[in-house]
Structure 1
Amino acid sequence: MRVDLHVHSSASFDCKSHPDRVAAQCGRLGLAPIFLTDHDSVEGAAHLRARGKARVVIGEEIMTSQGELIGLFLKHRVPPALSPREAAQEIKSQGGLVYLEHPYDSYRRHLAEEAIEALEDLIDIVEVFNGRSDEKANQLAEDLCGTLGAAPGAGSDAHTLEEIGTAYVEIEDFEGPSDFLVKLRRARIVKGRSKLLLMLEARLGHNIRRQ
């Protein structure tokens, strides 16, 4: 099965893709289950799960006091502005997995190395390939994953429908977060980068919405 571990919907402040359209695009691409990781929100994922038409993993890209951190397999929203460690502990308290995304992308609100060091014992997965990050940032993330002994993950970081599935993981079917984490370690990462124009389109749309 193929899973894109980092996808946004209109539940994020900087994305216009309705969750139903995200689900339809994932279906066309053969991506399942759907990992929806909206900014400070689980509403999009909860909407899809309530509809019951697709298998959904509830995720959230949480803005901590020091940068972004993703929780996967959540039961409910993790509030923003917690310290990175507090956010990670809240993820764990829900039985979820701590997913460190784009840790070296200078264009993103990533955690600093000091914050990452303070989280080493709680990080389950490091995003070793992000479809919106450059080669150097992804390589540094892969090196960090090896240093921490974490499981490697990958995702498109899609903010448009066209970006979904540009990067993904081929993995055996799994039952719950623990089994997912075991199988992720032997999964195959498929690397593809978002086209520059799509990235610019998404950022332009975000700027327009803020005006």
Structure 2
Amino acid sequence: MRFDLHVHTSLSPCSDLDIADILAHARSRRLDGVCITDHDTMAVREQIEEGIQDDGLCVIFGMEYETPEGDFLLFGPFENLETGLPAPHLLDLVREQGGAAVAAHPFRKGRPTGEHLVRESLCRLVEGINGRNSDDENRRVQAWKKSFAVRECGGSDAHTIEELGRVVTRFNRPVRSRGDLVRALNAGHCSPEWNIRPQPAVAAAPVPPTFSPLPSF
């Protein structure tokens, strides 16, 4: 199954993407599921019912939780989770409540994930491919994979309809609910892959200079 684990709606201040547009386009992007991960909120539950939709798409609610030591995609019973928790406390809480936490875009400039959180096994899931990262930011995850045996997943980090489904997580077992998703992530039954890789910009061909003919005398 192919899920986009990292999608923002207009409930996130950085996104213009409406839930109706996500539902209308997800299946055409070869997606079996979409996880709505707005910033520090699961208020999307007031707009749509979680679970299998009429067209077979599985919609799961999560959130992207901000901390000074990085951002984390959270999946589990966190509808009423308070904001502002330090990362170690947050990750302990996720584990105690039987959820899953993914280090989102861990090497992105500005607020990378604290390496000690991975080294100390507080976080064992990382976003190996993020559709908005640079190639170098995505590639640097491989050092963690070798040193700390982290498990990888991926997501588009979509803020526009064009970005939806750009990166997916492939699951080798059925995922049809939030509980299924948490179990599959924590067991490592997942891998990231590009679904619609952005095409590099093609430089315009140089325009040959033009010369005006010399006047004849």
**1:90 has 2:93 as partner:** yes
The residue aligned with 2:29 is 29
The residue aligned with 1:209 is none
Quote the offset at 1:140 in angstroms.
0.8
Equivalent-residue separation in structure 2 for 1:32 and 1:115 (angstroms): 31
Equivalent-residue separation in structure 2 for 1:91 and 1:129 (angstroms): 22
**1:189 has 2:193 as partner:** yes
Classify the secondary structure of the residue corresponding to 1:39. Answer: coil
Alignment of 1:44-83 (within 5 A): 44-45=44-45, 47-49=47-49, 53=53, 54-83=57-86
The one-letter amino acid of 1:4's match is D
Equivalent-residue separation in structure 2 for 1:195 and 1:7 (angstroms): 21
- Give identity over the alignment, percent: 24
Equivalent-residue separation in structure 2 for 1:90 and 1:151 (angstroms): 20
Equivalent-residue separation in structure 2 for 1:152 and 1:23 (angstroms): 26
CA-based RMSD of the aligned residues comes to 2.7
Quote the offset at 1:195 in angstroms.
6.9
Distance 1:48 1:122, change over 3 A: farther
Classify the secondary structure of the residue corresponding to 2:12. Answer: coil
* Structure with the larger helix share: 1
Distance 1:65 1:33, change over 3 A: same
Deviates more, 1:45-54 or 1:77-86: 45-54
8 Å Cα contact 1:169-1:188 kept in structure 2:
yes
Q: State the structure with more CA Rg.
A: 2
Question: Which runs of 5 or more residues in structure 1 are unaligned?
Answer: 198-211
Quote the offset at 1:18 in angstroms.
1.6
Equivalent-residue separation in structure 2 for 1:50 and 1:75 (angstroms): 14
Question: Which runs of 5 or more residues in structure 2 are unaligned?
Answer: 202-217
Q: TM-score, normalised by structure 1?
A: 0.78
The residue aligned with 2:115 is 113
Deviates more, 1:18-27 or 1:108-117: 108-117
The aligned length equals 193
Q: TM-score, normalised by structure 2?
A: 0.76
